[in-house]
Structure 1
């Protein structure tokens, strides 16, 4: 209210007061005097109701509505009582008294207006804080639902306050106390919402509209506090959206990847569900396989890769490279797999030009128009207008650990990779993926870590062969640009995903990845991923029945009880442990004839087999984990340390207790751990034994679990870390099956041979 208006109101009050004095009753009339006093007291109380908040004009502090309301209630009572007394008195000044009371009631009305308006202003402030809390709690949906009504009401607030409160100074105090803070909050929320609109249009791919929203944000953001809780959130959110806008101008790519699935198809329907879910969430995606689809389960034994192929085509794989196990049945089986596929294969360091089975499908070049059923050095895929180059590599160990044949040659992987990068870059391709089956940190002479360091220009390495589980990507920063390395473990346990962001020059500026567990279950024991209906129908009608039938096939028979399980295989040498270790040694010798010993962790020998027929199902029961074969180059001293670990808790059961082949050793369980092994002798080709030499190196077969430090074998893990482990990759149950089938008449007569002796037990 302007000063002039205030003056007029005060003047009017003065005139009214003088008017009340003019009609005061004659003092001679005692009764009239009592009525007059009652009326004056009532007027005074009614004026006090106004004065209670009127002091706000000088204190600049809002008076509590409850305080004012008390005075209003008192004023109303004395007003009512005074009216009754005036009416009852019936004096000649009755009308004047009533008029005086009625005129003074405006003080009550003013006070009531104050209470109502302050509550309204408080409500606005409360709404503002509520919206602020929704932003803080990230409940943007509810905030946006309630925001429009609040904005509309806030726009009218000043007018409502001015209309509801008597006194211009009081108005200002109320506005400053409640409305202005609400406006400050609303302004910050408005900026936040404009940023969220920008986020929405970025997600929609409309960067032009997003840019316009961000212009509004840029104009208003400087007015938003950087110290308040809400202000900090708004500034942080704007920074995030701006980064998102910048990111949207770059190229995002999601690569889904599998490796070393080894014909594990029982969960394929869930894997395909996972693939579909990732595709739905990722606009730009590739699906790649890094090899070793072949060998490992009865699905391969029965269908020779064609069951896997049908599901890979159903899933929509974009490319695959060859693993060493793709050559297990020479190239005749592989060629049948290749020619029937609807996706291309990439292989830059394998030359098939002389191989009778594969030369017709081999193209010694890079193509931008890849065809299914063809092999290329590399391919170029165009995704959302961006070119992505993909080339393949296969471990040179394949020549010795599998059966590719003499006409398939393996070339130096580093040299071929450099040629591929150069060729891609000449074609204007600056986003390059190496799809490799050389092992992440394999000791066989080639691996992904070395590749990343030695070859500049590879952006992503999707790896296999070593069955490495990389929960998140590993980034090598040796060169000018980073190289992201991923690997998805084994046996279709995971679908690997990696999201990368390229800048305009093809440099990866951000990466994030994870492994999706295909067989994950919820608290109720149900699979989190549901079966893809089409895949499940194909599996259950076309492939699974034949595999279930195969499991009942008899592999061999045993005339003796084959002792395994806990505690037998975890405390002493058993005939089943001997048999399994013998099979490992025989298989390892076929790969590396210099292999002289084998060790198998007793915890992996899961059960006892009774005399009678041994079915494939029995084989799987004994060795259910699908561990693969590895060959360590280890010194005698290191092996002795491993044996000390094996018997450290004896005679207590220990899953790491080693069943052995090609050696015998004695220990004394009564001695302190680490000092128990007394003798170790190595079996020669003539059957004789010679003492283990600490300073001599030996080739020793084991499973990859033990070789990489499982059961606490740190000394074996050191061998692995030193690059002295060759991963042959043959699955343990297949190796055991071969051993059973190699026995005379396929009949087991195995007895405990005294390979492990506890001297304290004698």
Structure 2
């Protein structure tokens, strides 16, 4: 039978939604007639995205797919309260066709990932994740789970899905981060293979069987996706996430990242790469035309701002042209008005919102000023984050209240997600926005020399100093610790001073052989992102408290303006 000359596919895609189910209220700096006019618009959210996807399926006469490129978990109070149940319930109602697991989807280990895989009415992909050494009777085991398209050790390929596509078949498979054990907490039996090698072997396997149209889902980030795109042979398109990359020209509304939708000119020998930002703010809609060999020969479409309510100008009195500016904004090609899906809107409002709204109205403290959070020290904040040491103070106090002797608390910058704004502070502000990751605290004992190596390793990773960086989130902040870091010193000698704020309220330089008790999140204590030396600890104990619990308790017992910041940093970069 003669094959069709062209194969059309509408590919709707999202990534890194992080439990942002409701529409996002975005401030958009609209460039209008030479002026920057601030506009507010409710964009995206699961109900709006579901409605847009439903419209696509109703209006297209050719095949369509709706895929998620990972990190549906964590991020908001919806996850902190419901621990994933709301995520898979709402994604099932959205009509997803596929999801690749991201690092935050593996944060809770099998205990949290298994319910997602088990409950999803769509296939879940992690084609370079190898569970073959899991015991057959392991609780929450994922080995050979029928809905997890994982690494097939006997064939050396990713398990894939085949779906009817015009007069042939289309294959979907997915890969995720090889360094997963450094950035997340999957169960120890999970092994992660080189995504490039697994992807190429899988593509070769498919093409040997006559499958030419191949969609690769990826949770590697744009940089690694570009490497895949330049090195892989035979895939049609890569749909990615992890780096929160918003492709397309959004310069008119102040969201531009300088990225081209598809990341290459079409047609090209290079495989197109699609990313759709973050937090369900946008929906990517790619109109693909492929030839019989699976190569994309035309790419149209782009990321869309799905606007579900009236756009406003909060300073309309200052801008007399605000009304015409709003009309011009609504006429932008990537601004799409949408009526949110009623079923999903009602499900969120009736099943999940009430508990969150109660927490939002429960004020636990008052912030007389804003405490700023930054991951790395800056010129204006030479000590770095004002907030992270306060969070560490919460860890310290919580451990002490539970009767544990601790000398210091340590926290990584990426574990704090927002600044603490002036005004009333609610439980929702802390557990839903500032410290949204549901990770317990761990007490441990180790020597000062290993603590110094852990601090150096974390800073090296944060600033990419001689190691492969996993991002700036590893930068260490502490309570009752002070340190000096010299980036130009030899590796292993960059922490030139380490001191402890003692019970006598004075700083004491630590002897390298001295034993200390510390408290951190379980994520940091496990040695992720440069903190490997913490694995040299002698003892450890997991506490029955999450990170957010400890800070909430601190604020309930101490006013913010009386908190002591026992942290000193001398950072020579």
Q: TM-score range by the shorter chain?
A: 0.5 to 0.7
Structure 1 457/581 Cα, relative in aligned 2: closer, same or farther at 3 Å?
A: farther
Please say if 1:605 is aligned against 2:416.
no
Kept after mapping to 2: 8 A contact 1:457/1:481: no
Q: Which position in structure 1 is the counterpart of 2:292?
A: 504
| Partner of residue 563, structure 2 | 750
Contact residue 237 and residue 296 of structure 2 kept, 8 A: no
Q: Describe the shift of the 1:544–1:425 C-alpha distance in structure 2 as closer, same or farther (beyond 3 A).
A: same
| Cα offset, 1:513, TM superposition | 3.1
Shift of 1:549: 2.4
User: Which residue, out of 467, 471, 477, partners 2:244?
Assistant: 467
Structure 1 residue 482 and structure 2 residue 482: aligned? no
Structure 1: distance between partners of 2:209 and 2:150: 10
Partner residue, 2:516:
none
1:537-552 alignment to 2 at 5 Å? Answer: 537-552=346-361
1:335 Cα deviation after fit: 1.0
| Match 1:578 to one of 386, 411, 421 | 386
Which structure: larger Rg? 1
Shift in alpha-carbon separation, 1:479–1:364, aligned structure 2, 3 A: farther
CA distance in 2, matches of 1:582, 1:696: 31
Deviations 1:704-758 (A, max 9, x none): xxxxxxxxxxxxxxxxxxxxxx799xxxxx997366158598756523569599x
Does the 8 Å contact 1:289/1:321 carry over to 2? Answer: yes
Change (3 A) 1:268 1:686: closer
Maintained 8 Å contact 1:330/1:404 = yes
C-alpha contact (below 8 Å) 1:564/1:576 kept by paired residues = no
Residue 563 of structure 1 corresponds to: 369
Alpha-carbon distance, 1:468 to partner = 1.2
Structure 2: distance between partners of 1:348 and 1:754: 43
SS in 1 for 2:51: helix
Q: Go from structure 1 to structure 2 and tell me whether the alpha carbon gap of 1:256 and 1:359 turns closer, same or farther (over 3 Å shift).
A: same
Equivalent-residue separation in structure 1 for 2:245 and 2:369 (angstroms): 32
Alignment partners' CA distance in 2, 1:606 and 1:686: 21
How far off is 1:534 after superposition?
A: 1.5
* Deviations 1:486-510, CA, capped at 9 Å, x for gaps: 1111110011111111112222111
Deviations 1:691-713 (A, max 9, x none): 635456779xxxxxxxxxxxxxx
Summarize the Cα distance change of 1:585–1:379 in structure 2 as closer, same or farther, 3 Å threshold. farther
Residue 453 of structure 1: aligned partner: 230
Deviation sequence 1:512-532 (CA, Å, 0-9, x none): 231111346555579932121
Instruction: Work out whether 1:406 is the aligned partner of 2:188.
Output: yes
- 1:585 Cα offset (Å): 12
What's the offset of the Cα at 1:414?
A: 1.5
- In structure 2, the CA distance between the partners of 1:535 and 1:608, relative to structure 1 (3 Å rule), is same
Q: Give the equivalent residue in structure 1 for 2:13.
A: 257
Residues 20-45 of structure 1 show CA distances to partners (whole Å, capped at 9, x for unaligned) of xxxxxxxxxxxxxxxxxxxxxxxxxx
Q: What's the CA shift string for 1:669-690, capped at 9, x where partnerless?
A: xxxxxxxxxxxxxx9x994544
Q: Secondary structure at the match of 1:359?
A: coil
Q: Deviations over 1:415-445 (max 9, x none)?
A: 111111011112211011110111112xxxx
| Alpha-carbon distance change, 261 to 600 in structure 1, aligned in 2, over 3 angstroms | closer
- Could you tell me whether the CA contact under 8 Å between 1:330 and 1:405 is conserved in 2? yes
Number of the residue aligned with 1:619: 430
Partner of 1:712: none
Secondary structure at the counterpart of residue 162 of structure 2: strand
Helix, strand or coil at the partner of 1:317: coil
State how far apart, in whole Å, the 2-side matches of 1:483 and 1:607 are: 43
SS, match of residue 70 in structure 2: coil
What is the CA-CA distance between 1:395 and the residue it aligns to?
A: 0.5
Unaligned runs of 5+ in 2: 23-44, 152-156, 249-259, 314-329, 331-335, 396-409, 438-457, 467-471, 496-528, 532-544
Q: 1:359-395: CA deviations, max 9, x gaps?
A: 251589799xxxxxxx972111112333111111110
SS across alignment from 1:287:
strand
> 2:90 is paired with a residue of what secondary structure?
helix
Distance 2:308 2:127 in 1: 36
Deviations 1:558-600 (A, max 9, x none): 8xx563179xx9997799953335648999xxxxxxx998599
Indicate conservation of the 8 Å contact 2:149/2:159, yes or no: yes
Match of 1:361 among 125, 145, 152: 145
Higher helix share: 1
The whole-number CA distance in structure 1 between the counterparts of 2:47 and 2:389 is 35
Give the match for residue 326 of structure 1: 105
Q: CA RMSD in A?
A: 4.8
Whether the 8 Å CA contact 2:416–2:435 is kept in 1: the answer is no
2:164 is equivalent to residue 382 of structure 1: yes
Please say if 1:529 is aligned against 2:338: yes
**In 1, are the aligned partners of 2:98 and 2:124 still within 8 Å (CA)?**
yes
> Which secondary structure state, in structure 1, belongs to the residue aligned with residue 272 of structure 2?
strand
Q: Distance in 1 between matches of 2:383 and 2:230?
A: 47
Secondary structure, counterpart of 1:396 in structure 2: coil
Partners in 1 of 2:261 and 2:203 — Cα distance?
21
CA distance in 2, matches of 1:366, 1:571: 46
Task: Indicate if the aligned counterparts of 1:522 and 1:528 stay in contact, CA closer than 8 A.
Answer: no
CA distance in 2, matches of 1:451, 1:427: 22
Offset at residue 350 of structure 1 (A): 0.4
Between the two proteins, the alignment pairs up a number of residues equal to 408
From 215, 218, 241, the equivalent of 1:436 is 218
Distance, in Å, in 2 between the alignment partners of 1:601 and 1:538 is 30
Q: Do the aligned partners of residues 562 and 346 (structure 1) sit closer, same or farther apart at CA in structure 2, a change above 3 Å counting?
A: same
In terms of fraction of residues, the more strand-rich structure is 2
Separation in structure 2 between the aligned mates of residue 339 and residue 599 of structure 1, nearest angstrom: 30
Which residue is 1:189 aligned to?
none
One of 503, 512, 517 as aligned partner of 2:305? 517
Paired position in structure 2 for 1:167:
none
Asked whether the 8 Å contact 1:466–1:727 carries over to 2, the reply is: no
In the TM superposition, what is the alpha-carbon distance from 1:260 to its structure 2 partner? 0.7
Q: 1:695 to 1:453 in 2, by over 3 A?
A: farther
Is the 1:578–1:661 contact (alpha carbons within 8 Å) kept by the matching residues of 2? no
Structure 1 Cα separation of the partners of residues 490 and 388 of structure 2: 26
How far the C-alpha of 1:289 sits from its partner, in A, is 0.8
CA–CA distance in structure 2, aligned partners of residues 457 and 581 of structure 1: 49
Partners of 1:489 and 1:744 lie apart in 2 by 34
Per-residue CA deviations over 1:335-376 (Å, capped at 9, x if unaligned) read: 112112211122210012344321251589799xxxxxxx97
550 and 384 in structure 1: CA distance in 2 versus 1, 3 angstrom threshold: farther
Q: Matches of 1:529 and 1:426 in 2, distance apart?
A: 43
For residue 633 of structure 1, the aligned residue among 454, 457, 463 is 463
Match of 2:206 among 417, 424, 427: 424
Where do 5+ consecutive residues of structure 1 fail to align?
Answer: 1-247, 368-374, 442-446, 588-594, 637-641, 643-659, 663-682, 700-725, 729-733, 758-762
User: What is the TM-score normalised by the length of structure 1?
Assistant: 0.46
Q: How does 1:695-710 map to 2 (within 5 A)?
A: none
Number of the residue aligned with 1:343:
122
